[in-house]
Chains A and B, each alone.
Chain A
Amino acid sequence: MKVLIAEDDFTSRTMLKALLSKWGYEVVATADGEAALTAMEEDEDPPRLALLDWMMPAMDGPTLCRELRRRKDRDFLYLVLLTSKDEEGDMARGLEAGADDYLFKPYETEDLRVRVRLGERTLAWRDERREKEKLRDALRTTRSVCHRLAQPLRIVSGYSQLLLMNLNESDSMYRSLMDIRCGVEQMGELTREIVEVARSGTETSSV
Chain B
Amino acid sequence: MAEGREALEALEAIPYDLVLMDCQMPEMDGYEATRRIRELGPDHPASRIPVVAMTAHAMKGDREKCLEAGMDDYLSKPVKPARLAEVLERWLGGKEEKDEIVGAGPSGEDEKPSSKVPKAAAATDLGEPAVFDRRTLVERLMGDEELVGEIVEGFLQDVPEQIRAIRSSVEAGLTEEAGAQAHKIKGAAGNVGGPALQEVAYAMEKAGKAGEISLLHDLIPELENRFEQLRQAMRSQ
- Please give the residue numbers on chain A whose beta carbons come within 8 Å of chain B beta carbons, in ascending order: 8-12, 14-15, 18-19, 22, 53, 55, 57, 84, 105-106, 108-109
Interface assignment of B190: CB less than 8 Å from any CB of chain A: yes
The smallest beta-carbon distance between A109 and chain B, in angstroms, is 5
Complex Cα–Cα for A84 and B185 (A): 12
The smallest beta-carbon distance between B166 and chain A, in angstroms, is 13
Asked if A12 and B187 make an inter-chain contact with CB atoms under 8 angstroms apart, the answer reads yes
Interface assignment of B191: CB less than 8 Å from any CB of chain A: yes
Complex Cα–Cα for A55 and B202 (A): 14
Complex Cα–Cα for A64 and B186 (A): 22
- Please give the residue numbers on chain B whose beta carbons come within 8 Å of chain A beta carbons, in ascending order: 80, 139-142, 144, 147, 150-151, 154-155, 158-159, 180, 183-188, 190-192
Select one of A12, A22, A106 contacting B142, CB under 8 A.
A22
Complex Cα–Cα for A22 and B184 (A): 24
Asked if B191 and A15 make an inter-chain contact with CB atoms under 8 angstroms apart, the answer reads yes
Chain B neighbourhood of A14, CB < 8 A: 150-151, 154
Chain B neighbourhood of A8, CB < 8 A: 184
**A109 and B151 contact, Cβ closer than 8 Å, known pairs A8-B184, A9-B187, A84-B183:** no
Asked if A109 and B141 make an inter-chain contact with CB atoms under 8 angstroms apart, the answer reads yes
Chain A neighbourhood of B186, CB < 8 A: 84
The smallest beta-carbon distance between A110 and chain B, in angstroms, is 9
**A55 and B188 contact, Cβ closer than 8 Å, known pairs A14-B150, A109-B139:** no
Complex Cα–Cα for A108 and B192 (A): 12
